[in-house]
Structure 1
Amino acid sequence: MNIFDIKSPSDIKSLSYAQLEDLAQQIRIFLIESIAKTGGHLSSNLGVVELTLAMHYVFETPQDKFIFDVGHQSYVHKILTGRAPLFTQLRQYKGIAGFQKRKESEHDAWEAGHSSTSLSAALGMCVARDLNHASYQVVPVIGDGALTGGMAMEALNQIGSEQRNMVIIFNDNNMSISKNVGAMDETFTRLRTSKPYNTLKEDLKGALSTSKMGKSVLESMKNIKNAVKENVVDTSIFGDFNLDYIGPVDGHDIRRLIKVLEIAKRHDGPIVVHVLTKKGKGYPFAEEDKEGKWHGVSQFDPKTGCSLSRMPNGQKSWSEVISSTLCDLAKDNKDIIAITPAMKGGSKLSAFFEQFPMRSFDCGIAEEHAMTFAAGLAASGKRPFISVYSSFLQRAYDQISHDVARMDLPVVIGIDRCGLVGEDGETHHGVFDIAMLRHIPHMILAQPKDGDEAQQLLYTAFTQEHPFALRYPRGNTPFHKVDTYHPVRIGSWSMQKIMETSKLCVITYGDNVDKVISKARINGLAITVVNARFFKPLDEEMLNSICQMEEPVIIYETDMLAGGLGSAILEYANDHGYQKHFVRIGIDDHFVEHGSIPQLKKLERLDINTLCDIIASYL
């Protein structure tokens, strides 16, 4: 079968095992060639090809509900639900999303971009199903990395209590983005090495092949449950939650997967099907990756595995700038500790982990725990730095407010991937953290305009005694190591006139500052550009001067307008009796879809050309 002929999952249900295996190979080749052109999540999708085929072979979507935890491994599901022809526009503006998307297909029952949500959502759907006296199946697929999230444990606790019909597929590849860590992974290792399903004792196989006993097993699974307990593993974490368990099963053996899923489908109550898969299966570069380099990729050459994007000379990614500065500061400050919630590679902290292994901690996918862990370190005299993507920082809001800021502890929070991030879309845009943190007492919040300022602001964060959040975007910046570090005055802004006489003021932040200055010089705009590098506290002295200006003032921010820099400035002006009118440019009250960052900025009227048109209209 040609994958472009697949219109719905029903098209694969008449295929033989040999044809399914052939289709699996076609899908792998298609994924590699397609993602090489568009970028996207590669390894996770290569690992679930046979599993997704078996799921669609056994279950019936859209009646049955598939919930892929995080959702970045749903590409095969998209192919089997008729979306293969749309992969030329994967993750591109107006194209299909890189995650499940409810408005994209009736087969997408759930959408997420954060981990550990699938089990809670699945239980909600099960309860709704039972209240409606329906009988469809709910099938969450959750990985071993996502099970380290506290939310997943909370869900398992209630699932075990409710005992609703649910088939939980435990996709175990011994990886989250990079290699898993922690005691939970050690528990899963014992499960992985236990006697697998297909080598159970002959009496179990006989029970399944005997009509009378087979019927009983298929109806209640009690014999399966007892046999698994006796023959596969003495203790299972799932058994502790009162869940039936079957496995481990080879996740690349379609025959075995279909057989096991057919049994699980008829089971009464919640059951966990433990499936062993290999992340990156079928593509050697991805199979051998232990650092998460092939988790999410930009365009690459499928033959060599080499990325087609090149870092400009003299530049580093913002994450690398922060990481290399942290390493430099940690040489002299023995109290500096680095923490990551399973994002060591993405946040470029691998170098710190290598240089300071005793001061490096990967907490797994557990942002809430990681933040309070940092607070405990700070309360004990250490100087923790925790790097979290802006999108994932939202998950630790309570811990930031209650455990860090309330006790005024000097935790340094690196907010990576702030602002619009592009192709990952709504779930990953880091445009909410300014509003989320600005109102929290004791919090200092800043963003550098370039690599030099990033180094000085990070140094500043470790010289003061309050919570300090430093945000920095996806992408690159010119970089050279500063000769000496000096603290930046907390709350201070800087101002630069493009011409001797200024007729308008633009207040902005981050890498927007130099972009506006450069464009203004090229176009000969008589403006003043303010680098508002601190969102909290504000530079009140400079604000007083700005509020007394007669010329127009534009606040140009590339994050949410509500609660952002403009909101802070308007609050200040109102509270101090200024009648100044400000023009605010930013993201309105909606979620921004996926697409390239230049496309999205133009869509949101945040691009520099649009800004210059607005400036020109006022001039």
Structure 2
Amino acid sequence: MTSNDEPELGPLLASIGRLADFKSLDEADLPDLAEELREFLIGSVAKTGGHIGPNLGVVELTMAIHRVFDSPHDQVVFDTGHQSYVHKALTGRAARFGGLRRRGGLAGYPNRAESPHDLVENSHASTSLSYADGLAKANALSGSDRHVIAVVGDGALTGGMCWEALNNIAARDDLRLVIVVNDNGRSYAPTVGGLAKRLAGLRLNPGYEPALGKIKSAVEGIPMVGRAAYSALHAAKTGLKDALAPQGMFSDLGLKYVGPIDGHDLSEMTEALEKAKGFGGPVIVHALTEKGRGWRPAREDEAEQAHSLSSAFDPITGESVTAKRRSWTGVFAEELVAQAEARPDVVAITAAMPGPTGVDKLMKRMPERVFDVGIAEQHAVTSAAGLAMNGLHPVVAVYSTFMNRAFDQTVLDVAMHRLPVTFVLDRAGITGPDGPSHYGIWDTSIFRIVPGMRIAAPRDAATLRQEFAEALAVDDGPTMLRFPTGAVPTEDVAAVDSREGLDFLVEPDEADLLIAACGPLAGVAVEAAKLLEAAGVRAVVVDPRWIAPVPDALVKLAGQYPLVATVEDGVRTGGFGDALAQALRDAGTDVPLLDFAVAADWHPHGARPELLEDLGLTPEAIAARIEAETTRRNRS
């Protein structure tokens, strides 16, 4: 449900019901509007949770884009999409922020259903330049005068897709394409790698004057501050030959470059974008910004600068106002440290997300054994293969949704070589407020087809520890653990018996059916069994623990019952239920199977319990459907 809390809007922001209202404001009002926007973001997001740090850093940058360009005629693409809150407010949606990331409310990323100003529903990083390349080429073919503006940053330039796109963009000089590099030196954590060092050199060069206005008179009459012009002027002023660091990255590709610009100076940003717009070809505008600008808690958060706060928080201190419970990520983080202390071959890899994946705890204890590769999941997997080839056991910790990007590397670089790499997928299943692009519902269907891949789905803290240790013990191929976001069950879901690798959670003396439940939905299945028992239907509930390949013991057990049900929080097509049904067919066992899973569709954002209810993955819904099926079968 959306919130009834009306966000507090300053007088200028309250006057913006559509983008045209913002564009009609007097220039003298813009600094006050920037202040209102920051106060609004802090106060509003404090009630809902969300990506506060990145958006506080792009206030003036976004304002400048919308003053210079005419969206939606000119096409603005945000990379990553979590930087779009200011864009949403300026395009008339500020009054709807009370429902941000809640079911039926505003999405936390651009959303085409919300506004014609939202072009790309992107949240995965490093995609904007490829979108922009295609958009600009299509515009050129049609003879359109529209511009494409790609806002790339918050670590996205560490992703390989950006450089593949730049290689293609630089081959054309007729594309009306402006690339705004939002350089805040960070993604979730400080941006890593050679690119980060190169950009940092610009920030730290004391002889460099980032303000474009300071050399305006020196470049009067030049339509664009290009490589040769800017280098010559700068060398003459500072006595430093070729001091413009980005030449090797951007200008040598043939791309025009403006910057660095103070991304919080609205007049400088506007002037730079006007110049870029007038050039008529691909242009890089390099803006230096400060993540979390204007909010003390973000500035004091050295790890992530308040990148994303998942729940409501105190707008003064930044502290969560909801009770903290032990999380799945926290349990994994502790166990990773414990295993690394016991095994010198264990190393960890993360793709720009040490904190969100729990790898940060090991990074603090043993920094030499953790590798943050930036937003580069494909590289992470093949690098892990190299580590494994030389005798280590890498643990690749990523969000489930981002693991999709590295399927080819998992198949050919890891699995085909039978290398011991363990993948730990956080945020598997329905994750809630972040919406469909962040749902980890595909991993089981995708990765269970990888030859030699073994996938575990822990149901609680105890089985997470056990199955992680079991995964690390595998030395002849890849393993994968998947678990959701949020809190682990307050109590472990205890087994009444364990046989042949299966945990029996409910086992009456006689039973009418078998329920095989995966991961955190094992507890849901136990509750469903209780409801069924009250209705006179007896069910055995078993947790297979390792869901791919389907355990032989489970196939044999399923053949002993007149009806089998599976419960999982992944996609139904190709999921665990599908796999068990196939295994039963292969064994010549004719047993009807009900599979409770997630439909292969785009599901809206909202709280996980709400979405599980919509999907029929609650004890009540599962019990009702099973009871109806057993009644039907008994009558026939």
The 5-angstrom pairing of residues 457-472 of structure 1 reads 457-465=467-475, 466-472=477-483
Residue 361 (structure 1) shift:
0.9
Residues 142 and 170 in structure 1, CA contact (< 8 A), matched pair in contact too: yes
Which residue type is aligned with residue 229 of structure 1? S
Shift in Å, 1:207: 4.4
Residue 75 in structure 1 maps to residue 77 in structure 2:
no
Q: Which residue, 481, 486, 490 being the options, matches 1:475? A: 486
Deviation, structure 1 residue 603:
1.4
Moved more, 161-170 or 367-376: 161-170
Where 1:427 maps in the other structure, the secondary structure is: helix
* Aligned mates of 2:506, 2:490 — CA distance in 1: 24
Equivalent residue in structure 2 for 1:538, among 550, 554, 569 = 550
Cα distance in 1, alignment partners of residues 255 and 209 from structure 2 = 18
Q: For residue 512 of structure 1, what is the amino acid of its counterpart?
A: L
Matches within 5 A, 1:523-602: 524-525=533-534, 526-550=538-562, 552-602=563-613
Identify the residue that residue 485 of structure 1 maps to in structure 2.
Answer: none
The answer to whether 1:252 aligns with 2:241 is no
Structure 1 counterpart of 2:274, from 262, 273, 277: 262
Q: Is contact 2:154-2:187 (8 Å) kept?
A: yes
Q: Is the 8 A contact 1:411 1:467 kept in 2?
A: yes
Change (3 A) 1:266 1:119: same
Q: Residues 391-417 of structure 1, C-alpha deviation per residue, up to 9 Å, x if partnerless?
A: 000111111011000101000110111
- Aligned partners of 2:53 and 2:320: how far apart in 1? 15
Between the aligned partners of 1:293 and 1:468, the Cα distance in structure 2 is 33
Matching residue's letter, 2:262: D
What is the aligned counterpart of 1:230 among 229, 232, 235?
A: 232
Q: Any conservation in 2 of the 1:498–1:520 contact (CA below 8 Å)?
A: no
Matched to 1:118, the amino acid is S
Task: State how 1:50-199 maps to structure 2 within 5 Å.
Answer: 50-143=60-153, 145-163=155-173, 164-194=175-205, 195-198=208-211
Retained in 2: the 8 A contact 1:196–1:247?
A: no
Post-superposition offset of 1:494 = 2.2
Match of 2:255 in 1: 243
Q: In structure 2, what is the Cα distance between the partners aligned to 1:59 and 1:373? A: 42
Tell me the matched-pair count.
597
Distance 1:59 1:118 in 2: 17
CA RMSD of aligned residues (A): 1.9
Residues 1:441 and 1:247: Cα distance change in structure 2 (over 3 Å) = same
Displacement of 1:231 in angstroms is 3.8
1:346 aligns with 2:356: yes
Unmatched 5+ residue regions in structure 2?
1-10, 235-242, 493-497, 631-636
The 8 Å contact of residues 508 and 556 in structure 1, kept in 2 or not, is answered as yes
Shift of 1:304: 2.4
Provide the rounded CA distance (Å) in 2 between the counterparts of 1:121 and 1:196.
32
Q: 1:5 to 1:459 in 2, by over 3 A?
A: same
- Give the aligned residue type for 2:315: P
- Secondary structure at the aligned position of 1:456 is classed as helix
| Superposed displacement of residue 498, structure 1 | 4.7
Q: Note the 1:399-548 alignment, pairs <5 A.
A: 399-465=409-475, 466-478=477-489, 492-521=501-530, 524-525=533-534, 526-548=538-560
In structure 2, what is the Cα distance between the partners aligned to 1:248 and 1:411? 41
Q: Give 3-state SS (helix, strand or coil) of 1:140's partner.
A: strand
Q: Measure how far apart 1:197 and its partner are.
A: 4.2
- 1:309 correspondence with 2:322: yes
CA change 1:540–1:3 in 2 (3 A) is same
Contact 1:388 1:415 in 2 (8 A): yes
Q: CA deviation at 1:258?
A: 1.0
TM-aligned CA deviation for residue 612 of structure 1: 2.1
| Alignment-mate amino acid for residue 342 of structure 2 | D
Structure 1 residue 81, shift from structure 2 partner: 0.6
TM-superposed CA distance for 1:522, in Å, is: 6.5
Contact 1:293 1:345 in 2 (8 A): no
One-letter identity of the residue aligned with 1:505: L
What is the deviation of 1:57?
0.7
Tell me how far 1:252 sits from its aligned partner: 0.8
TM-score by length of 2: 0.90
SS of residue in 2 equivalent to 1:548 = coil
The 5-angstrom pairing of residues 15-26 of structure 1 reads 15-26=25-36
Give the distance between the partners of 2:447 and 2:323, measured in 1 at CA. 34
Conserved 8 A contact 2:54-2:154: no
Letter in 1 for 2:316: K
Quote how far apart the aligned CAs of 1:133 are: 0.6
Deviations 1:285-311 (A, max 9, x none): 012222126111111011222101222
**Counterpart secondary structure, 2:354:** coil
Is 1:605 the equivalent of 2:607? Answer: no
* Letter paired with 1:615: I
After TM superposition, give the deviation of residue 144 of structure 1 in Å.
5.4
8 Å Cα contact 2:544-2:554 kept in structure 1? no
1:197 touches 1:249 (CA, 8 Å); kept in 2? yes
1:589 corresponds to which letter in structure 2?
A
Amino acid at match of 2:157: L
Provide the residue aligned with 2:495 in structure 1.
none
C-alpha contact 2:512 2:561 (8 A) present in aligned 1: no
Asked whether the 8 Å contact 1:17–1:254 carries over to 2, the reply is no
How many Å separate the matches in 2 of 1:578 and 1:522?
28
CA displacement, residues 476-524 of structure 1 (integer Å, 9 cap, x when unaligned): 225899xxxxxx99x9322233533322221111121123224534664
Q: Distance in 1 between matches of 2:103 and 2:154?
A: 32
Task: Judge conservation of contact 1:196–1:249 (CA < 8 Å) in 2.
Answer: no
**Cα deviation digits, residues 37-89 of structure 1 (max 9, x gap):** 11111000110011111111111001001100020010100011111111111
Aligned residue identity for 2:232: E
CA contact (8 A) 2:80 2:153 kept: no
| Aligned residue in 1 for 2:47 | 37
Q: 1:388 to 1:505 in 2, by over 3 A?
A: same
- SS state at 1:257 partner: helix
2:189 alignment partner, SS class: coil
Deviations along 1:573-608, whole A, 9 cap, x unmatched?
Answer: 111222211111111231111111011111112222
* Secondary structure at 1:530 match in 2: strand
Unpaired runs of 5+ residues, structure 1, are 209-213, 482-487
Q: Report the Cα offset of residue 155 of structure 1.
A: 0.5
How far apart, in 2, do the equivalents of 1:235 and 1:4 lie? 42
Letter in 2 for 1:268: G
SS, match of residue 453 in structure 1: helix
Q: In 1, Cα distance between the equivalents of 2:571 and 2:24?
A: 50
- Matched position secondary structure for 1:397: helix
Alignment of 1:285-304 (within 5 A): 285-292=297-304, 294-297=306-309, 298-304=311-317
Deviation at 1:2, TM superposition (A): 2.8
The whole-number CA distance in structure 2 between the counterparts of 1:192 and 1:26 is: 28
SS at match of 2:357: coil
State the Cα deviation string for residues 204-250 of structure 1 (Å, max 9, x = none).
51542xxxxx3xx33xx2x6543322245434211122111111111
* Whole-angstrom distance in 1 between the partners of 2:194 and 2:490: 39
Matched, 1:615 2:626: yes
User: 1:484 — aligned with what?
Assistant: none
SS of 1:29's equivalent in the other structure is helix
Secondary structure of the equivalent of 1:346? helix
Contact residue 144 and residue 185 of structure 1 kept, 8 A? no
Question: What is the percent sequence identity of the aligned residues?
Answer: 38
Equivalent residue, structure 2, for 1:211: none
Report the Cα distance in structure 2 between the residues aligned to 1:329 and 1:224, rounded to whole angstroms: 53
